[in-house]
Structure 1
Amino acid sequence: MVKRLKVLELTNYTAGVCGVWTRVLGESKELSKKFKVKVFSSNAVKGSNKIAKPSERIGLIEIHRFPFKKLGGESFMYWNFKKDFLEYKPDIVMAHSYRHPHTNLAIKYSKITGSRVFLVTHAPFSHDNITRGNMASVLVKLYDSLIAPKVLNKFNKIITITRWEESFLRKLGLDKNKIAYIPNGIPKEFFKQKKAREQNKILFLGRVSPLKSLQTLIRAMSLIKNEKIKLEIVGPAEKEYLTFLKELISKNNLDKRVSFSEPIYDTKKKIKKLDSARIFVLPSKREGMPQSLIEAMSRGKIVIASNTHGSTEIIEDGKNGFLFKTGDAKSLSSKLNLAIRSKNQRLRQNAKKSVERFEWNKVAKTIVRLIS
């Protein structure tokens, strides 16, 4: 009997709503069909102060969580997984998120166990550090100039989830042959589940946080000519930001047109919620690879997104969706009015067709070829 290779996935979070965890879980499910898979993470629950249980099993995947210490920001943390790493002795390590302690430790521990180690970057690059404070921006520059050139080339391969990341990595001294593009995937259910009834409404589905710039969407709602159009915002909310948004809604007399709903974690229920809306909007200040946008497009929604790096890589304005100037409510409202006025059947068809390549079965084949 052929021995199954052991894969270890490393990520900061395996609880709460987290884009990186969504990738890790989807990837792990696919890899568990061919390999033995474990996932190590902190025991933090993203978006809350709660602590997750120390271990869990999802299908064939074993998840182990470790106590953590915050080093700065929401996700920059240290958690000690050395003992468990050395005991498991993985053949392959998938370390997620560039510039984080656990990815650097993956190199160190893999040298002891003889593991092959791959870094999945998750698009942390930005021209203007729009989402970072002054101190964080300085630390990022120091890491990129002093540590990155020494660390990056020690990985067997650097996996980007977007094509736009490559130019940033090349500037850090990484050879083009060291880089592999493998995007995030979405479950096959998004392409196969029977469609639910569509309502004449706009939907946002994701974390309700300042990064998502939902104030831009709310202000745009006040400029929409058709007052029958409703907006539903679905997802876990940061308390202070939610208060700010509700005050903005009241100020613009939108209380009867804008509603908030609880987060959805079940795939089938999420698809049903996407199907309930005609238009999906992603107004973020920054996006790496917008998972929710791809999910909405797979259901043939009319999608409108801010012109971030991530969204412009997926949307061709006027062909498979619409783009608006980031942070500009007037620009967004004009695209919303454009989407409302016509059925946009061809655009919907183009949207669905353009994201078929992100179905997890297809993405996983590329990963398996790379790491085998």
Structure 2
Amino acid sequence: MTLNQLKYLYLNELIKIHKTIKPSFLKFFMKILELTNYTSGTCGVFSRVLQESKLLSKKGHEVYIFSSNRIKGSKGKSNLYEQIDKIKIFRFPTIKLGGESFMHWDFIKEANIISPDLIIAHSYRHPHTIKALKIAESLKIPIFLVTHAPFQTGNEKHSKTAKLAIYLHDKFVGKKRLKQFTKILTITKWENSFLKKLEVPNEKIEYIPNGIPEEFFKIKYLHKEQNKILFLGRISEIKNLETLIKSIPLIKDEKIKIEIVGPAEKTYLKKLKILINSLKLNNRIIFSPAIYDLKEKIKKIDSSKIFVLPSLREGMPQSLIEAMARKKMVIASKNPATEELIENNKSGFLFQIKNSEELAKSINYSLSLNKKQTNKIQLEAHNSVKKFSWKIILNKLEKVINQHSSKNRQVP
């Protein structure tokens, strides 16, 4: 099947759906189009998009998601159409322009057929957000950009060429384009200083972070705590798991295990296993596959004594927030994102990036605390992340949506 035939099928499917929508329904609720690079594979941005879409759909809005047809972390391609609950997901053939997520996919015609009342475009600096601006201008509708914290903090694994491209984009494209969005939705507070340098007016910026499901706060403990340190996330270079592995010989408790859970980049996983062999730590480190079921994920977090996040950089570390919600002792490398979440020595512990000795010191100290001291830190962590409940986040988002509704529709 040719690319043009695929596009024709997309278009016909969209037209069929469009014709089934009753005007009486549209009178009261908004039609929202979410745009993101990936809707398949393990992707933090898509986790936000999907959860946000589900909750908006439950509120009565009609939600569509457009993305590339690529599967993140894989060379495979996903189905062109999928429906999750009432959310319709359309995926488009893609031309890769560079890196993992920088790509071109054409969706302008299909977006015009849907004719949304609002566009929410995810990930600053990506081509689909520029296309989204053109669509919003043509339809005379509001458009929000969710940044997803792409700004450089000094520890990125970018080449010199990539860094130059980012600099040039921000200087000659970003400054102009960012001002054209109705609202810029940041997922962290540390992004504000970067947006200020790009001359984005304060009134355009709204802090609406990623949320976590209510279950992380409500479900009782699902698993007995084991003598184990947990890392939960993508096994990739940016997560800097070498630092965690190198800290193990320095931990006083020689029986404590390390479990590393998540989808792995093959080359990086091979590199880690060579390091583990050289340090003779095979009997203390367990690699486990990614967990997609919510209850199983909670069970895995509950089974650990300490949660460690040794990343070189983070945007908004979802797994860290989830661990804090489950009242885990958390230890993370010091960067703008973790400093925003952890108050050192109060709700968890921070250590200098790549410093395995300092990490081991934090682990040893946390293991030495008595039950009362441990409970105090864990409760502080739990209480500090209650604001990330999706229930609270959605209320904030809907408030912004209602303020900028192009048709001033009333939402229940």
- Give the TM-score, by structure 2 length: 0.89
CA distance in structure 1 between the partners assigned to 2:291 and 2:76 by the alignment: 18
Kindly indicate whether residue 171 of structure 2 is the aligned counterpart of residue 145 of structure 1.
yes
SS in 2 for 1:340: helix
| Structure 1 residues 220-241: Cα deviation after superposition (integer angstroms, max 9, x where no partner) | 1121111110000000001111
Determine the structure 1 residue equivalent to 2:10. Answer: none
Return 302-311 or 124-133, whichever deviates more. 124-133
Kindly indicate whether residue 235 of structure 2 is the aligned counterpart of residue 205 of structure 1.
no
CA distance in structure 1 between the partners assigned to 2:276 and 2:347 by the alignment: 30
Determine the structure 2 residue equivalent to 1:350. Answer: 380
Q: What is the Cα deviation at residue 106 of structure 1? A: 0.5
Determine the structure 2 residue equivalent to 1:169. Answer: 195
RMSD of aligned alpha carbons: 0.9
Q: Is the CA contact 1:162–1:288 (under 8 Å) kept in the aligned structure 2?
A: yes
| Structure 1 residues 333-362: Cα deviation after superposition (integer angstroms, max 9, x where no partner) | 100111111241100011111101101011
Q: Is the CA contact 1:129–1:137 (under 8 Å) kept in the aligned structure 2?
A: no
Q: What is the Cα deviation at residue 31 of structure 1? A: 1.0
CA distance in structure 2 between the partners assigned to 1:219 and 1:328 by the alignment: 9
Determine the structure 2 residue equivalent to 1:227. Answer: 254
Structure 1 residue runs of 4 or more that deviate by more than 3 Å after TM superposition: none
Q: What is the Cα deviation at residue 128 of structure 1? A: 2.5
Kindly indicate whether residue 150 of structure 2 is the aligned counterpart of residue 124 of structure 1.
yes
- Give the TM-score, by structure 1 length: 0.98
Larger Rg: 2
SS in 1 for 2:332: strand
SS in 1 for 2:58: coil
Q: Is the CA contact 1:8–1:37 (under 8 Å) kept in the aligned structure 2?
A: yes
1:51-90 to 2 correspondence within 5 Å?
A: 51-90=77-116
SS in 2 for 1:287: coil
Return 340-349 or 355-364, whichever deviates more. 340-349
| Structure 1 residues 246-304: Cα deviation after superposition (integer angstroms, max 9, x where no partner) | 11111111100001001001111100100010100000000011000000000000000
Q: What is the Cα deviation at residue 32 of structure 1? A: 0.9
CA distance in structure 1 between the partners assigned to 2:41 and 2:50 by the alignment: 12
Kindly indicate whether residue 129 of structure 2 is the aligned counterpart of residue 103 of structure 1.
yes
* Counterpart residue identity of residue 125, structure 1: F
* Counterpart residue identity of residue 317, structure 2: P
Task: Please point out which of 67, 76, 98 is paired with 1:50.
Answer: 76
Task: Please point out which of 284, 287, 292 is paired with 2:311.
Answer: 284
CA distance in structure 2 between the partners assigned to 1:135 and 1:358 by the alignment: 36
Q: What is the Cα deviation at residue 96 of structure 1? A: 0.3
Identity of aligned residues (%): 52
1:294-305 to 2 correspondence within 5 Å?
A: 294-305=321-332
CA distance in structure 2 between the partners assigned to 1:201 and 1:63 by the alignment: 39
Q: Is the CA contact 1:304–1:322 (under 8 Å) kept in the aligned structure 2?
A: yes
CA distance in structure 2 between the partners assigned to 1:224 and 1:128 by the alignment: 29
Q: Is the CA contact 1:89–1:115 (under 8 Å) kept in the aligned structure 2?
A: no
Between Structure 1 and Structure 2, how many residues are aligned? 372
CA distance in structure 1 between the partners assigned to 2:376 and 2:114 by the alignment: 51
Q: Is the CA contact 2:155–2:313 (under 8 Å) kept in the aligned structure 1?
A: no
1:132-281 to 2 correspondence within 5 Å?
A: 132-195=158-221, 196-281=223-308
Q: Is the CA contact 1:131–1:286 (under 8 Å) kept in the aligned structure 2?
A: no
Judged with a 3 Å threshold, the aligned counterparts in structure 2 of structure 1 residues 274 and 127 are, in CA distance, closer, same or farther, namely: closer
* Counterpart residue identity of residue 274, structure 1: I
CA distance in structure 1 between the partners assigned to 2:70 and 2:155 by the alignment: 25
* Counterpart residue identity of residue 398, structure 2: V
CA distance in structure 1 between the partners assigned to 2:368 and 2:71 by the alignment: 42
1:11-22 to 2 correspondence within 5 Å?
A: 11-22=36-47
Q: Is the CA contact 2:156–2:238 (under 8 Å) kept in the aligned structure 1?
A: no
Q: What is the Cα deviation at residue 3 of structure 1? A: 3.1
Judged with a 3 Å threshold, the aligned counterparts in structure 2 of structure 1 residues 48 and 278 are, in CA distance, closer, same or farther, namely: same
Q: Could you tell me which runs of 5 or more consecutive residues in structure 2 were left unpaired when the two chains were aligned.
A: 1-23, 403-412
Kindly indicate whether residue 359 of structure 2 is the aligned counterpart of residue 329 of structure 1.
no
CA distance in structure 2 between the partners assigned to 1:109 and 1:33 by the alignment: 26
Return 283-292 or 124-133, whichever deviates more. 124-133
Q: What is the Cα deviation at residue 164 of structure 1? A: 0.6
Determine the structure 2 residue equivalent to 1:32. Answer: 57
SS in 2 for 1:303: strand
CA distance in structure 2 between the partners assigned to 1:226 and 1:44 by the alignment: 44
* Counterpart residue identity of residue 96, structure 1: H
CA distance in structure 2 between the partners assigned to 1:227 and 1:128 by the alignment: 35
Q: Is the CA contact 2:155–2:312 (under 8 Å) kept in the aligned structure 1?
A: no
Determine the structure 2 residue equivalent to 1:365. Answer: 395
Q: What is the Cα deviation at residue 129 of structure 1? A: 5.8
Q: Could you tell me which runs of 5 or more consecutive residues in structure 1 were left unpaired when the two chains were aligned.
A: none
Q: What is the Cα deviation at residue 217 of structure 1? A: 0.3
CA distance in structure 2 between the partners assigned to 1:102 and 1:78 by the alignment: 7
CA distance in structure 2 between the partners assigned to 1:130 and 1:206 by the alignment: 17
Determine the structure 2 residue equivalent to 1:113. Answer: 139
SS in 1 for 2:282: coil
Determine the structure 1 residue equivalent to 2:367. Answer: 340
* Counterpart residue identity of residue 322, structure 1: F
* Counterpart residue identity of residue 263, structure 2: P
Kindly indicate whether residue 329 of structure 2 is the aligned counterpart of residue 316 of structure 1.
no
CA distance in structure 1 between the partners assigned to 2:258 and 2:251 by the alignment: 11
CA distance in structure 2 between the partners assigned to 1:69 and 1:266 by the alignment: 32
